[in-house]
Amino acid sequence: MSSGNLASFLLPAPTSTSSLTGAIATMAQFTATATIEAVALTTSTPNDTPTRVINYAKTVKWQSPATAFLFFVLSLIMTACVIRNLIYWAKTRHTKTVYVYLLLWAISRVVCFLMRGYILLDDNGTSYSLYQWTSIVLSLGFMPLAEAMSVVTIESSALVYGWPRKLAVRLDLLVKLLFITFGSCIAAFVMDFTLNQPFGSLVKDYTKDLVLREFGFNGLILLTIYTLVGSLFNLAHAPRHGHIPASLLPRFRLMMAITALQSVFILVKLIFTSYRNWNPYEARDEGLAYGLSFLPEYLFMLFYCSHQFLAVFDEIEAHERQEPEKAGALNASPSSFSSNHSDTIEEAAGPLRTGEDAAKVPAPDVALHSILTTSPGSVLESVKNSV
């Protein structure tokens, strides 16, 4: 081997700039392809160009199908409990209305967690329409709970303070109108933003959606604060006003304490949701969402799986219906007693008032009058004469 060949073997000729660029590009393409395959599915077009397919559910950090199906089963159990209480135990319009709202919540949660569990299986998260409707049901399902609390608080206030029925009905209608207004705003925001805006958009970029969201959420927060304050006032003032029967007062106050606690649960959920609304890239962990958004709803519902707590309202209304009946019976008894008593006296004195004996025996009223009007001295004098 010559010295020139040896030099060329040990020191190869410099690589051209274009060849170096091509090598770097090839390495970059390999790295990018590997990254895409790690985070998304890939398909091939007729030209064999890699195309990224987004898994929308996993992009927003929905991760555990097992947790979703667990909440689905819990929702089924609570649905069965609410239906049983509504059909077999609720006795009054008030308690039946509360159970109707709770049933709406239960059905919506059964549907949404079934959808959430399904979308996390296999590659179902790549369906954008399925992701959209799952998000919509998840966002709107909690609202019947807020209305149920309002019904309980208003009816309880009417019982505690002895409001006229018309006033209670008007206040209940006012709260329902506010609830419908706020709920409609949230529903309009969720539907428009989820269905009409591009995936990954920010609400702050769409003024109409931002206004609808803030008006609706802040309104529901105010209604929840009202139920918290109202139930605490009912708890404190019920013994003072005396409109609740003493035998049912401890259970009524327990129900008010439970309603206040339920209000705190819903406030935790609403505050957490509002924080995420304003900070879309923070607090996205799935465990945090289950703990601060969904778990408060199920803690709320635990108190309604049995009719024991709401039954106090049925018993109070039954007690109120019995009071007029007892008063009517007491009003009717003196007259019947006096008529029966006079009839008995007449029957006993009847045989003595026939013939000549009738003149010797005074009538009962006359005899009683003569005894009451005779002086003690006259009585003594009569006794001495007789002796």
Which regions in the chain score pLDDT beneath 70?
Answer: 1-51, 323-387
Tokens of 70: 């667990």
Q: Which pTM value belongs to this model? A: 0.73
DSSP annotation of 351: G
Tokens of 250: 């401890």
**Per residue in 46-79, pLDDT tens?**
555 556 789 999 999 999 999 999 999 999 999 9
Integer Cα distance of 70 and 247 in angstroms:
41
Q: Which of 141, 144, 170, 145 is nearest to 157 (CA)?
A: 170
pLDDT in tens, 301-336: 999 999 999 999 999 999 988 866 655 555 555 554
Burial-class residue 307 by CB neighbours within 10 Å (0-12, 13-18, 19+).
buried
The CA distances from residue 175 to 141, 153, 272, 294, in Å, are 19, 11, 24, 25
d(CA 24, CA 30): 10
